[in-house]
Amino acid sequence: MSFDIAITLARGDRRLDYAFTAGPGLTALFGPSGAGKTTLLDAVAGLLRPRRGRIAVAGTPLFDAAARIDLPPEHRRCGYVFQDLRLFPHRSVRRNLAYGLRPGAGLDWDHTLDLLGITGLLDRMPATLSGGEAQRVAIGRALLSDPAFLLMDEPLASVDGARREEILRLIERIRDELRLPILYVSHDCSEVERLAHTIVPVPAA
């Protein structure tokens, strides 16, 4: 299984329970805004500790309360593409990408630039990028960290309509060529139907 998750999280005074398994490919968490989808991604990334339960990705346990396993974020080999991108505004595209670079990564620098079509952006600053360009840079930084899996939180949220199809095709290419397990958050039905091998409904909290 790509993802095997059964956990309980706390958000404020609310209890959030998640339980699902998913096979290879892209798994979409589909539900309305405020349902706790990003909270779940944060738990998988190790940024939020569940109250109880287990998280395993591709057979590797990342968190298991009963077995007292709780890998720190830097040991989970997780590539996280945040909804707000979180590019360093004072660093060029080249330096943003280099920040995530892990020596000996399975996906090399040149291949990543070619895959994402961002070679011509290397000397630009984030403030000069369009939403689609910034999104491709954020995805590149995640890929260059040599992740075992990807988390993608509403990756089309900052992309205008003209660039939406471009980013959708890019995500399809990453899904099909790299074959990494991907946990993908969206509230758009057509988006998840197009991209996902498995759809996990997340009801309103």
Q: What is the pLDDT along the chain (205 residues), one digit of tens a residue?
A: 799 999 999 877 888 999 999 999 999 999 888 889 999 999 999 999 999 999 999 999 999 999 999 999 999 999 999 988 789 999 999 999 998 787 666 668 888 898 889 999 999 999 999 888 999 999 999 999 889 999 999 988 877 777 888 899 999 999 999 899 999 999 899 999 999 999 999 887 6
CB atoms within 10 A of CB 172: 13
**Contact assessment for residue 4 and residue 177, using Cβ atoms and an 8 Å cutoff:** no
Q: What is the pTM of this model?
A: 0.92
pLDDT digits (tens, 9 = 90+) for 89-102: 999 999 999 987 87
The first and second tokens of residue 167, run together, are 């980013």
CATH class, range 23-46+74-201: alpha beta
- Per-residue b or e along 56-87, where b marks 16 or more CB atoms closer than 10 Å to that residue's CB: bbeeeebbbbeeeeebeeeebbbbbbbbebeb
pLDDT digits (tens, 9 = 90+) for 20-66: 999 999 999 998 888 899 999 999 999 999 999 999 999 999 999 99
pLDDT value for 123: 96
Going 200 to 170 to 141 to 83, the CA torsion angle's sign is negative
Strand ranges, E, within the chain = 3-11, 14-22, 26-30, 52-57, 60-64, 69-70, 78-81, 149-153, 182-186, 198-201
